[in-house]
Structure 1
C-alpha cells in the first residue's frame, strides 16, 4: 500500500522516525501544542490527530492511537511499515493489579500479556511473547530515575474487554505478577516485532484496582505530565 492510507493522510516525510502515541487524539493535540515548537498537523482523518514538531532541537511526532488493540494495531502498523517510523512509545493510563503499583506511579511495560487473539495472524509455532525494546525500556527507566519519579518495571495485561463479565480475571492475572491492565500494548509490541522496529509503553497508574483508589481529574493531569516528561526525555536521548 502507498501513502496516504485510508487512515492517515500524511505524505512521505511528514512523520518523524520517533513517535509518541497517546490513546486520546486530543491528548496528542495538547502534547504537541504544549511541548513542541514549529508544529504541523499531518493527520486529521477520523479525528485521529497527528503532529510533527521539535522538542529541544529534536524532531518528533505525536499521534493518537484510539482505544484497544484493533485501533492501535492499524495505526502502528501503518507507521512502521508505510511511513518509515522506527520507534513508537505509547503513553497511556492503566489500572493497577498489584499493590506494588501505587497511584501516580509510572509503569514501564517490559512485556504485555493478553487475552486477545491478535498474535494468531503471525502463525508462530507456539505462543508469542510481546515484549518491549530493551534500549527504549532502559532509557525510560533512566529518565524516570533522573527526574525522581516512582517507576515500576514488569508485565502488564492488554485486555480486549474494559467491562469484563468475569469478576475473577484481575486477581488471576495479579497472582502471575502482572502489574497493571490496559488495552493496547500487546498489539503495538507484536507489530514492532514483526516489522523489526522498536516499541515501548509508559503508563501512569490512575486507578488502584486492589485498594479501590482513584485519582481525581486534577491528580490525573499531574501524573500525565510526569509521563510526558519521561517520554520526551527518552525521545531526546534516543536521537542524541
Structure 2
C-alpha cells in the first residue's frame, strides 16, 4: 500500500521515527501544543489528530490511536509498515488491578497479557507472549529516574471488553498472577512491532481504581504530564 493510507493522510517524511500515541486524540493535541516546538498537524482523518514537531531539538511525532486493539492495530501497522516509523510509545490511561497500585501511578508494561484473539491473525503455531522493547523500556526507567518520577515496571493486561458482567472475577484471576493494571491496546501494539521488526513500549497512568473516584476526561487529557515527559525523553 502506498501513502497516504486510508487512515493517515501524511506524506512520506511527515512523521518522525518515534511516535508517541495516546488513545485520546485530544491528548495528542495537548502534547503537541504544550511540549513540541513548531508542531505541524499531519492527520485529521476521523479526528485522529497527529502532529510532528521538535522536543529539545529532536524531531518527534504524536498521534492518537483510539480505543481497543483493532484501532491500535490499524494505526500502528500503518505507521510501522508504510511510514517507516521505528518506535511507538503508547501513553495511555489504565485501571488498577493490584491493591497497592495507586491512582496516578505510572506503570511501564514489560509484558501485555490479553484475552484477545488478535494473535490469531499471525497464524502462529503456539501462544505468543507480547513484550515491550527492552531498549525503550530501559531508557524509560532511566529517564524516569532523571526526572525524579517514580514508576512501576511489570505485566499489564490488554482486554477486549471495557464493560464486563463478571469484572470482579475477571480481575481476580489477573491479580493472582501479579498483573498490575488493565488497558486495551498494548498487546496489539507489541505484536505489530514484533512482526514489523520495530520497537514498542506501553506506559500508562492509573486513571481508575475500584472504590475510588475516577479521573475525568479533562484530567486524563491534560494532567498525565509525568508520563508524557518520560516518553518525550525517549525521542
- Number of equivalenced pairs: 233
Q: Which secondary structure state, in structure 1, belongs to the residue aligned with residue 224 of structure 2?
A: helix
Q: Look up the match of 1:75.
A: 75
Normalising by structure 1, we get a TM-score of 0.93
Change in CA separation of 1:219 and 1:30 when aligned onto 2, cut-off 3 Å: closer
| Alpha carbons 1:206, 1:214 under 8 Å: kept | no
| Alpha carbons 2:93, 2:220 under 8 Å: kept | no
Q: Which secondary structure state, in structure 1, belongs to the residue aligned with residue 234 of structure 2?
A: helix
Q: Measure the CA separation in 2 of the matches of 1:77 and 1:220.
A: 25
Q: Look up the match of 2:213.
A: 214
Q: Look up the match of 2:133.
A: 133
Structure 2 alignment gaps of length 5 or more: none
Query: Counterparts of 1:89-238 in structure 2 under 5 Å?
Result: 89-167=89-167, 168-209=169-210, 212-217=211-216, 220=220, 224-235=224-235
Normalising by structure 2, we get a TM-score of 0.95
Structure 1 alignment gaps of length 5 or more: 236-240
**What do the CA deviations read for 1:12-40 (whole angstroms, capped 9, x no partner)?**
11000000000001110111011111111
Q: Which secondary structure state, in structure 2, belongs to the residue aligned with residue 38 of structure 1?
A: strand
| Alpha carbons 1:103, 1:214 under 8 Å: kept | no
Q: Measure the CA separation in 1 of the matches of 2:60 and 2:219.
A: 27
Q: Which runs of 4+ in 1 moved over 4 A?
A: 218-223
Q: Which secondary structure state, in structure 2, belongs to the residue aligned with residue 213 of structure 1?
A: coil
Q: Look up the match of 2:11.
A: 11
Change in CA separation of 1:40 and 1:191 when aligned onto 2, cut-off 3 Å: same
Q: Measure the CA separation in 2 of the matches of 1:188 and 1:214.
A: 29
Calculate the aligned-residue CA RMSD, in Å.
1.4
Q: Look up the match of 2:54.
A: 54
Q: Measure the CA separation in 1 of the matches of 2:219 and 2:46.
A: 29
| Alpha carbons 2:48, 2:64 under 8 Å: kept | yes
